[in-house]
Amino acid sequence: MTQNLLLTTLLIVVLSVSGCASRSKTTDQPHGQQKLSISDSESAELIVLNISGPTLIPSNQNITDNGLAFISLPRQTYQSIRIQPGNHEYRFDHTPQGKRFARLQAEVARTYYLVVGYNPAKSWASGLAGDPMTIELVSKEDAQKLIADLRRQ
Q: Mind listing the pLDDT tens digit for each residue in 43-88?
A: 999 999 999 999 888 889 999 999 999 999 999 999 999 999 999 9
Alpha carbon 21 to chain centroid, angstroms: 12
If phi over 0 gives left and psi between -120 and 50 gives alpha, with beta otherwise, what is residue 126? left
104: three-class secondary structure by DSSP: strand
- Res 95: pLDDT: 84
Q: How is residue 71 annotated by DSSP?
A: E
Q: Sorting pLDDT into bands at 50, 70 and 90, what band is 3?
A: low
Identify the pLDDT of residue 36.
52
Q: Residue range 12-34: average pLDDT?
A: 41
pLDDT in tens, 122-150: 766 555 667 889 999 999 999 999 999 99
Query: Residue ranges per domain, the chain?
Result: 2-152
CA distance 115 to 52: 10
Whole-prediction pTM: 0.74
CA proximity to 70, closest of 33, 110, 99: 33
- Residues 50 and 116 sit within 8 Å (Cβ to Cβ): yes
